[in-house]
Copies of this chain bind each other. A is one copy, B any other.
Amino acid sequence: MDIGERKKRILKAIVENYVETAEPVGSKAICVNLGLSSATIRNEMAELTQMGLLEQPHTSAGRIPSAKGYRIYVNDLMNRQRLSLEETMEINRALNLRIQQLDTLIQRAGTLLSELTSYPAYALTQGKKNNVINRFDFIYVDRFTVIVVLMLDGDDVRNRLMHFPGGLDETFVRKLSTVFNAAFTGITAEDIDETLILSCERACMDNTGVVAAIAGFAISVLDESSPNHAFLSGASHILNHPEYRNPDRAQRLLNYLTGSDMLLRLPDPDEVGKEPKIIIGPENVSKELSDSSVVVASYELGSEMRGIIGVVGPTRMDYGRVAAHLSYIARELRRLFIGSDLPPPPPNLEEGKPRKE
């Protein structure tokens, strides 16, 4: 859409004024900044309204930007903001704490994003599907107890302590190790069936269900090893914004955000670039968000984990500010991961050597 230079300046002024005040913007409010009389602005406003970039709540009120107006603002008019030194310092400080779990890091990033922007933030982790078993190890604890250690693709390691009231001896456990490593490595959940388990039982000469129990553990690990989590932070922030002073509207959004199927509705990391993507009001696919906006970016932590992180707020959102924060946090996540002296493939979500700090 090609609109004149002056119209752009007016639209920009209206958006920024409205974002700040949450009140419809009248012609007088912006005429001083633009060096034009209010009448001129009114004429332009009328045209911008005709073009669908502005809306008028009622005849004698000022204008507010439409979704289309925001879109043009975001695409062409918005100043790319940079964070102040203090802000970047704050982010660094909050994220650089010794983090044990990648999950926790992401959750903290979400909380931080929410605190900095005063909007609810969500962070989605999408664990890599390490659905291939690389090796089995069995630790013989005592006659009734064995620890089964399963190594998966992506250097993920899982264990389970298992009790077998029937008792078993070390020779049998060694046998188990041989058999399972031969039969169960390089396979996926679908490959494990009755036949495979039966053949293992025969190979181990087991009729006590030990083999079946271990196979069950393997299946459950393969099944659960796409640990998608969604973290929501600062949901109550929406109550600060006048558009959600209406409790019903606030509740609708809150319900949507905390709904159990949230995970399914979040965009796929593939669809979201590393740079913040801004989705304005009706551009959202889910109608519950049709009067809210979303700013979202994807992150990737090595081969281990990826996901998206973003904020949700009213369409009247300070997109520039939010995008700047989000962009910085996403970049920082990446840097933290690559820049840390983690060994390249991070062992089981934690670092292998103490980190220098």
Contact = CB atoms under 8 A, between A and B. Distances in A.
A151 B157 contact: no
A167 to B, nearest CB: 13
A164 B354 CA distance: 12
A151 B162 contact: no
Interface stretch (A168-176, A251-259, A326-334): A251-259
A56 B258 CA distance: 38
Contacts of A240: 251
A268 B245 CA distance: 36
Contact of A163 (B139, B213, B343): B343
A137 B148 CA distance: 12
Given A245-B247, A247-B250, A350-B220, A157 B147 contact: yes
Contact of A100 (B151, B161, B163, B220): B220
Interface string A239-267: 11000110110110011001010000000
Contacts of A224: 100
Contacts of A52: none
B151 A149 contact: no
A235 interface: yes
B235 A347 contact: no
Given A139-B149, A347-B160, A236 B212 contact: no
A236 B209 contact: no
Interface string A137-169: 101010000010101000111111111110000
Contacts of A165: 343
**DSSP majority for the A interface?**
mixed
Interface size of A as a range: 35 or more
Contacts of A350: 160, 217, 220
A352 interface: yes
A348 interface: yes
A58 interface: no
Contact of A159 (B235, B236, B255, B348): B348
A57 to B, nearest CB: 21
Contacts of A260: 111
A353 interface: yes
Interface of A: 100, 111, 135, 137, 139, 141, 147, 149, 151, 155-165, 209, 212-213, 216-217, 220, 224, 234-236, 239-240, 244-245, 247-248, 250-251, 254-255, 258, 260, 343-345, 347-348, 350, 352-354
CB-based closest 5 A-B pairs:
A161-B347, A236-B254, A163-B343, A162-B352, A239-B251
Given A139-B139, A209-B354, A244-B247, 8 more contacts: A163-B352, A213-B353, A213-B354, A235-B235, A235-B254, A239-B254, A240-B251, A250-B250
